[in-house]
Structure 1
């Protein structure tokens, strides 16, 4: 079946195209053209002047729809992934919170199985358990430990699905961990850290090339007694080549900081992430007494820390545009093209180009998702545009 999308603004790597069309066949983009003349035999879809953009790449998502990926079940993986797919995340890397060695092995095995049937899932992301306990935040303390080489090598050698792993680089064994994971093609990121400039320089040299939920769970400029010191934030800004991600829900970071990251790190080095917990895109009741939902964000019940966002990828783009004043095309790129490149799936994801997967989102002028195509097929529940 040949499908043709017409009458929309198409975001390409070269910029916007108007009066063009996108041709889809067998789950791939056949062509992005400057002509909107109907192709004979094609199923023509008029998008009514809206924006045709690449599907979002969710590279840091703990859960959604009432389920957490750490639950390690087919139902949890499918439900959480579908919840975010409905909001335009056509590529998802399920994220594990700090958990046991045995559970990491189990989830990695399940992820491999899921990837055979659910093509939205493109690999596994592990956060922790090798974290600085002083900066652990909502990560559960009973699982925190220093890197154990026998343990992490066994995990990595037992599976091919791990695409990203985040730890605190400054803890004992952290730099060795970074050298090993990065040499195995795994995106290695700093997270939950109090690293300062010399630590970040060592981490970058050891293979840590990304900073998770930038500004959150890491210090900025600070003072100890009478002297002042750069924090992790300033150190990452000073490290050329280290990419960052921001939870652009408008709560974890204010619009002014989102503007600053955009200005200093730029589109090519900034990814938008949800860091979503199980209650994202969920209408049910919260039954876990450890959490509360307040002001559209999830917090620990004792108010000691934010526990994760309730955002979906479309909300991030909308926040960047409407609150931070970022051009739509740049906000979309930070939610699609940049994360696809940073995590290593840019050959098939992230941009609307010939030969790539037909993962496409239709956004209206108010930056609302009106339709989602996954591998060229309309995702059930997102066809408000199509009649």
Structure 2
């Protein structure tokens, strides 16, 4: 039995002091008054710190100089270790668009990684079923509409692929979405020129998620005197879709984050979109698929283009930006980086909260919100 004492706890919408977390066999057994800690407990005094549920990153390509699109499980482990040091306890490995043979090799390697490290919950395919005109840092030659055969191949990897981003306007997408969502895969709209009819058809077939708002999304246009909302406006006006923001202080200015917050409320999630450049020095070169990128002014940039090449900030940096820079209450920032992502992955019954019977997945924050320690399933995966 472990007792974590002395820290402020973020319990749902509240900051709780003078309470201790009791952990047994990988789960939170109880939250008790500090003077009620069992005498037999292994006590860890974390005075001056704050304990939050472990961070859950739905959209991450790499970190610490390594990438998930490297078909080498050893590289994947380096990525997982890097993000564990930043408070992440569950994540999806995001893959940029790739040609079929390359994608198959990447998925084979990630299937091996998921058997050896349960921190990796599954794989998010950010493409290749995207609009060429909104490709961003994706290889445009790899983009293609989905086919029935590709749906068969993806569904044959049951349990590995947990999320797929698609452009709703591509031919074959509605049936593709229907088949994937019937198998429990979350389907998101992104990298798209979709207008209202395309998004509506996608939603009717099971689409529930929006990939990084404002990044590679169609926006308002005029046809004569008529104004036609794009995917962005339709997303913000939706009453049930869940939207991502990259809250690194570079991708989106505070005004846009506040618009998303007001529109989506508790359906807004922060993701890192971290790349191999996360944690690396200025000028470090890395690749997203075949696209050359570099760390420049604290963000990823496509070499030779005025375009972002993913983020170089892990999810704890997003949490700090939301709370310290933008003034969100800490419980709200934690909800956006842990509690709400758990719902997307259908894990809300056991992850994303500090409450009895939940997995003992947590991060210990210093006063400056840097991560001093990370625990997963009751075991320390990182201690500073």
* TM-score, L = length of structure 1: 0.93
Structure 2 partner of 1:295? 297
Distance 1:107 1:354, change over 3 A: farther
> Cα RMSD over matched residues?
1.7
Contact conserved, 1:247 with 1:273, CA < 8 A, in 2? yes
Q: What SS does the corresponding residue of 2:121 show, helix, strand or coil?
A: coil
Structure 1 partner of 2:267? 269
Whether 2:22 is the aligned partner of 1:23: answer yes
- After the TM superposition, which of the residue ranges 352-361 and 105-114 deviates more from structure 2? 105-114
1:310 to 301, 312, 317: 312
1:328 to 327, 330, 334: 330
Contact conserved, 1:259 with 1:326, CA < 8 A, in 2? no
**Aligned-residue offset at 1:33:** 2.4
Structure 1 partner of 2:248? 249
Specify every segment of 5 or more residues in structure 2 that has no aligned partner in the other structure, as ranges.
none
Structure 2 partner of 1:376? 378
Distance 1:229 1:348, change over 3 A: same
**Aligned-residue offset at 1:367:** 1.8
Q: What SS does the corresponding residue of 2:285 show, helix, strand or coil?
A: coil
Structure 1 partner of 2:187? 188
Structure 2 partner of 1:104? 103
Contact conserved, 1:6 with 1:44, CA < 8 A, in 2? yes
**Aligned-residue offset at 1:225:** 5.1
- After the TM superposition, which of the residue ranges 284-293 and 209-218 deviates more from structure 2? 284-293
Contact conserved, 1:6 with 1:36, CA < 8 A, in 2? no
**Aligned-residue offset at 1:301:** 1.1
Distance (whole Å) between structure 2 residues aligned to residue 175 and residue 274 of structure 1: 28
Structure 1 partner of 2:84? 85
- After the TM superposition, which of the residue ranges 150-159 and 322-331 deviates more from structure 2? 150-159
Specify every segment of 5 or more residues in structure 1 that has no aligned partner in the other structure, as ranges.
none
**Aligned-residue offset at 1:226:** 4.7
Structure 1 residues 211-268: Cα deviation after superposition (integer angstroms, max 9, x where no partner)? 00011101322334554221211101222110001000011001111112112211x2
> Residues 275-290 of structure 1 correspond to what in structure 2 (within 5 A)?
275-283=273-281, 285-286=284-285, 290=292
Distance (whole Å) between structure 2 residues aligned to residue 142 and residue 121 of structure 1: 29
Structure 2 partner of 1:258? 257
Structure 1 residues 109-154: Cα deviation after superposition (integer angstroms, max 9, x where no partner)? 3333222221211111111001111111110112111111111222
Structure 2 partner of 1:176? 175
Distance 1:103 1:44, change over 3 A: same
> Residues 139-158 of structure 1 correspond to what in structure 2 (within 5 A)?
139-158=138-157
